[in-house]
Amino acid sequence: MYRLREGPRFEYREQEKQRVKDSLPLAEKFHQLKSLILELGYYDSTRQTKNAQVKYVPNLENAKSVFRVDCPNTGCIRGDFDLTEALASAIKHHRTTVSGEMTCQGWMSKTTINTTPCHNVLRYKLSLGY
């Protein structure tokens, strides 16, 4: 699959990759965290149609503390989902399970004037062990 190497989508993703790369590993930032399981469900903007379901168990030694997930919409610009705050809050309050929903705040550009909000939805469940 060909990936665009210029434009607002590419530039945003590159900035976000650098932000993740510059962050501390989860094990280093959150010493008390021993395990993490993420269950992610991607839905369209109507919240009715599930496009994908992912279960992810990150290696805490390597996974970064800035925790973001790409929007599955390949035309989305400056969207995506940032679970950093949800994860940090769960650890701060010593929660073992947290679930929630986020709406993508990106947009799809048909022209430089005509843009459409993405509004894809990510439903997540974080299971944490201490």
Question: Does residue 20 lie in a domain region?
Answer: yes
The average confidence (pLDDT) of the chain is 89
Question: Does residue 2 lie in a domain region?
Answer: no
Find the domain containing 83 and state its range. Answer: 8-129
Which H helix or E strand runs over 52?
Answer: strand 50-56
In angstroms, the CA 72 to CA 5 distance is: 18
Question: Does residue 100 lie in a domain region?
Answer: yes
Asked whether the whole model's pTM tops 0.85, one would answer: no
Question: Does residue 1 lie in a domain region?
Answer: no
For the chain, the domain total comes to 1
Question: Does residue 86 lie in a domain region?
Answer: yes
Question: Does residue 72 lie in a domain region?
Answer: yes
pLDDT digits 0-9 by tens, 51-72: 889 999 999 999 999 999 999 8
